[in-house]
Structure 1
Amino acid sequence: MTDPVLDQAADPAAPCTVWNNPWHFLAFGCGSGTLPKAPGTWGSLMALPFLPLLQLLPTWGYGVMLVVTSLFGFWLCGRVARDLGVHDHEGIVWDEMVGMWITLWMVPAGWYWLVLGFLIFRVLDILKPWPISWLDKNVHGGVGIMIDDVLAGVFAWLALQAIVIAVA
């Protein structure tokens, strides 16, 4: 029997538990967080196939889904981080998925809006401007793992909506 913590130390991007623990599978973005380079980017991309289903919801329903997936993420990311014995494993990308869903709430139809939203979110998530950087350093547990991406998603959503209004 293998030890997931030892396996993680040998390959921090892909603990074996991702493939046999449903909570780990979800937290690792259906496995996208196991990819060896830029797991946050892959996790952000993994959010996109869910978008057509989310866009079937009324605006208020999509908003409720954002609240539910964020609250669930606080618990999920905290649990998986504890299971793995790390504060914020780089492969935990549920937070990026929720951040992308926030960014793309009420986005107009068109692939270019998805690409623009993706780029804005990734820049904010990588650069972590204040107050995102402060939250990332000072809030811990599942909330700490999620909050910087939730706020990056909110900022990206605001920027994207401003662009939508400017070109309308």
Structure 2
Amino acid sequence: MANPKVHLRLLKNPIHFLALGFGSGLARFAPGTFGTLAALPLLWLLHTQLSMLNYAAVTLLFAVVGVWICRYTANALGVHDHPAIVWDEVCGILIAMVALPLTWLNVLVAFVLFRFFDIVKPGPIGWCDRNLHGGLGIMVDDILAGVAAGATLHLGYALLNTFQ
């Protein structure tokens, strides 16, 4: 990782503060996992204070604005998709929980599934990671990982309801 003092200075800028996952992206190992963990209080806050439709709208807004946020910080760091940039993980876990009840089990399963899809990057997730650049390239693979995690959870619910 680059000089931590440079990153600490960046935290004073609100855009970099968001891109660096409220500082969680500065973790020396597994910054994506720490960024996902740092998103959990935000996930809880949004889920408990907003209707599901408003939660989905705010999540979409975060993802769209995240393209610019991530590009801005990547340019400042001089590195495309620097590991410290974890706003994409923040958005990914929010996406994974769209239209799901806020239970500790759902959050745990969404977390594990999201991290799995984000790390393994199967199919189109990996293609986007390798072929898209800029802020969009930083965001899209995590958006797709969040969609895959959420879809897997929804499918699990549908199967459980089918066999009850």
Same fold (TM over 0.5): yes
Partners of 2:44 and 2:102 within 8 A in 1? no
> Is residue 53 from structure 1 mapped to residue 40 from structure 2 by the alignment?
no
Structure 1 stretches of 4+ moved >4 Å: none
Aligned 1:69-108 pairs, distance under 5 A: 69-108=62-101
> Is residue 22 from structure 1 mapped to residue 14 from structure 2 by the alignment?
yes
Q: What's the CA shift string for 1:12-60, capped at 9, x where partnerless?
A: 9x72333322211110100000111100000011111012221131222
Q: What is the CA–CA distance in structure 2 between the aligned matches of 1:72 and 1:37, rounded to whole Å?
A: 26
* Aligned partner letter, 2:125: I
Stretch of structure 1 that moved more, 152-161 or 105-114: 105-114
CA drift of 1:165 comes to: 2.2
1:4 match: none
CA drift of 1:11 comes to: 4.5
> Is residue 42 from structure 1 mapped to residue 28 from structure 2 by the alignment?
no
Matched pairs, number: 160
Tell me the C-alpha RMSD between the 2 structures: 1.6
Partners of 2:110 and 2:149 within 8 A in 1? yes
Any idea what SS the aligned residue of 1:15 has? helix
Structure 2 length normalisation: TM-score? 0.91
* Aligned partner letter, 2:71: G
> Of 121, 138, 157, which residue of structure 1 is paired with 2:114?
121
Identity of aligned residues (%): 44
Structure 1 length normalisation: TM-score? 0.89
Q: What is the CA–CA distance in structure 2 between the aligned matches of 1:113 and 1:76, rounded to whole Å?
A: 28
* Aligned partner letter, 1:153: G
> Is residue 142 from structure 1 mapped to residue 135 from structure 2 by the alignment?
yes
2:2 match: 9
2:23 match: 31
Partners of 2:25 and 2:35 within 8 A in 1? yes
CA drift of 1:137 comes to: 0.8
* Aligned partner letter, 2:110: G
Cα pair distance change 1:159/1:91, threshold 3 Å: same
Stretch of structure 1 that moved more, 26-35 or 109-118: 109-118
Any idea what SS the aligned residue of 1:91 has? coil
